[in-house]
Chain A
Amino acid sequence: MGTDGAAGQHPALQARGLIKEFRGFRAVDGVDLAVAAGSVHALVGPNGAGKTTLFNLLTGFAPPTAGRIEVAGVDVTGLAPEGFARRGVARSFQITSLFGQLTALEHVELALQSGSSLGWKFWRSAKLMRRYTPRAMELLDMVGLADLAGTTADALAYGRKRALELALALALEPSVLLLDEPTAGMGLEDVDRTVALIAAIRAGRTVVMVEHNMSVVGALADRVTVLQSGRVLVEGPYDEVRADERVITAYLGEGAVRAAHS
């Protein structure tokens, strides 16, 4: 991987000179990022490095102070989140973010409906949404939630909520899938399931993920971008990045490098 692949000349998702300032503080400070089509690209870095802010910029949840974002070569800078979603950029949330009183099935039906105009039809019966039920059940089955289709999101266990997050993102048929810490707070068993699931759904898609768990990054990522203080510290294949002195310093401090050399 690392080439532009079959999807065309352009990276699936590209950021150029991206800056985000909060009252003079630069959370993202001139980030250039090119995510090759069909690759899995991990964003890592210590807390406060600007990963989540960058994620919000790349999905329209925050407008950049300066810089440019392109999806498959098309400028999308300044679009609202729903605009990114309609251009095939779907995201999950780090803190699980669902509709508390709707069932798992209703969640996925809503996601499947979002591309059509059915959602505007206030004079039609909600039963029309059943046209999405078969596909919704397929997606729930894919993430292992078929048995819990009738459970409201509030009543789902944590790991199941994360699985539903993934089903929602997949329902949008995204070309670029952004996953914000997909294994955060999970037990080992759920982590393994999620890694297997991402490995399965990456086919034909581009995946960008923020992830702290290095074994997850190692198992999935083609390329890794390390952020520090809002800037790109290192970018490259996982094995190269892991061995990079600057990365070890960023994570563990100067002492760790000296210890590694002694």
Chain B
Amino acid sequence: MSTTIETQGVRAEPGAASEPGRAGGTIVPRWLRWTLAGAAVLVALWLPNGLYPTVAVDIACWALFAVAVDLLLGYTGLMSFGHAAFWGTSAYATGLAAIHWGLPFPAAVLVGALAAVVLAVPVGYLAVKRVGIYFAMVTLAFAQMVYYIANQWRSVTQGENGLQRVPRELFGLDLTDEYFFYYAALPIVAGGLFLVWRAVHSPFGRVLVAIRDNPARARALGYPVHRYKLAAFLLSAFTAGLGGGLFAIGHRFVSLDVLHWTTSGKAVIIVVLGGIGTLWGPVVGAAGVTRLEDWLSFAGFEQIGLVTGAIFVLAVLIFRRGVWGTVAHWLRRRG
């Protein structure tokens, strides 16, 4: 499976490289990349003024989650169908740390993300020995197990009632207004996105792409492929955990939904819609899907899954590169 997914819609052409000998990062001209990055910063700063602030927070959380999934799917060739386990475990751990320890919310989110990493060690260790659909199945099986445990362990998780009234503490600042919370959360979101961006454009990221394209060859070159995949898995779980923790603080409530398999599915859908292996794509996808869902529920439409599902099917059939992948492809062909 990992070989049939078209991972990068963008490919450098020999003559088109601004720097000879490199494929990466030559698709979009440098000035355009800086313009885009600047525009992204402006949009991120403006977002809660143009949207309902709660939706803006949700977009930021899902962007982290989707980028975490893309690190595996787009850059390592691993399709996780159980990432809700990390998002949800972090949401619960963050909520519990905030409730019982009264931690400031960034510290609670960090506790949550680290809890996700701890869970990811055994899950990843067993999962990375499988490829393609089997990898997806192992991750899904573990996620279902975590869901089941959370449901049964009522003394800690409050079962179906969920964790109520998660505090939103930051050194005595009043963050009850979602508008201000968005800005307080933004540095964590930026940090998480930067972490993944840095990893993708590092020597480590180059090894991951090599593993994605040809694991056997990477091993023959002396790279311990399983350990590299596990490291990517842990990084991804950490980033998904940052998103899940912020989601818990943002909603001040954690329900079993955060561990449900449909949550894993939504993250994958966002990545595919936005563009696998593009990093920008999952961010754009998170914004689009979250906005659409909010709009549909506001309009009183009950079958939200029907609409997102239909869009997903259309995207897979028509825009296989996703939104961002299509734009990047188009830019490359013109430029």
On A, residues with C-beta under 8 Å from B are: 59, 61, 80-82, 85-86, 90-91, 93, 97-106, 109-111, 113-115, 118-126, 128-129, 133, 148-152, 154-155, 168, 172
User: Shortest CB–CB separation between residue B286 and chain A, in angstroms?
Assistant: 22
> Are A110 and B207 in contact (CB-based, < 8 A)?
yes
> Are A103 and B12 in contact (CB-based, < 8 A)?
yes
- Complex-state Cα separation, A258 to B173, whole angstroms: 99
What are 7 contact pairs spanning A and B, CB under 8 A? Answer: A82-B221, A103-B23, A114-B221, A118-B203, A126-B202, A129-B206, A151-B14
Please give 6 more A-B residue pairs, beta carbons under 8 A apart, in addition to A118-B203, A148-B14: A85-B222, A102-B210, A110-B221, A115-B222, A120-B231, A122-B204
Q: Name the one of A105, A111, A151 contacting B221, with C-beta atoms under 8 angstroms.
A: A111
B204 cross-chain contacts in A, Cβ below 8 A: 119-122
> Are B221 and A103 in contact (CB-based, < 8 A)?
no
B205 cross-chain contacts in A, Cβ below 8 A: 122, 126
**Smallest CB gap from B203: residue in A:** A118
> Are A103 and B21 in contact (CB-based, < 8 A)?
yes
**Smallest CB gap from B216: residue in A:** A97
A119 cross-chain contacts in B, Cβ below 8 A: 203-204, 206-207, 223, 228
**Smallest CB gap from A96: residue in B:** B217
> Are B23 and A106 in contact (CB-based, < 8 A)?
yes
B198 cross-chain contacts in A, Cβ below 8 A: 122-123, 125
- Complex-state Cα separation, A155 to B16, whole angstroms: 14
> Are A150 and B21 in contact (CB-based, < 8 A)?
yes
> Are A61 and B216 in contact (CB-based, < 8 A)?
yes
A91 cross-chain contacts in B, Cβ below 8 A: 220
- Complex-state Cα separation, A122 to B231, whole angstroms: 10
Against A, the Cβ 8 Å flags (1 = close, 0 = not) of B258-291 are: 0000000000000000000000000000000000
> Are B14 and A155 in contact (CB-based, < 8 A)?
yes
- Complex-state Cα separation, A8 to B85, whole angstroms: 55
Tell me, yes or no, whether B164 is within 8 Å of chain A by CB: no
- Complex-state Cα separation, A155 to B13, whole angstroms: 9
Contacts A113-B203, A121-B204 given; does A152 touch B14 at CB 8 Å: yes
- Complex-state Cα separation, A67 to B292, whole angstroms: 62
> Are B21 and A105 in contact (CB-based, < 8 A)?
yes
> Are B216 and A126 in contact (CB-based, < 8 A)?
no
- Complex-state Cα separation, A85 to B21, whole angstroms: 26
> Are B203 and A100 in contact (CB-based, < 8 A)?
no
User: Shortest CB–CB separation between residue A252 and chain B, in angstroms?
Assistant: 35
B29 cross-chain contacts in A, Cβ below 8 A: none
- Complex-state Cα separation, A150 to B19, whole angstroms: 9
User: Shortest CB–CB separation between residue A22 and chain B, in angstroms?
Assistant: 18
Q: Which of B8, B23, B205 has the most CB of A within 10 A?
A: B23
> Are A126 and B209 in contact (CB-based, < 8 A)?
no
CB within 8 Å of A: which of B216-263?
A: 216-225, 228, 231, 235
B222 cross-chain contacts in A, Cβ below 8 A: 82, 85-86, 114-115, 172
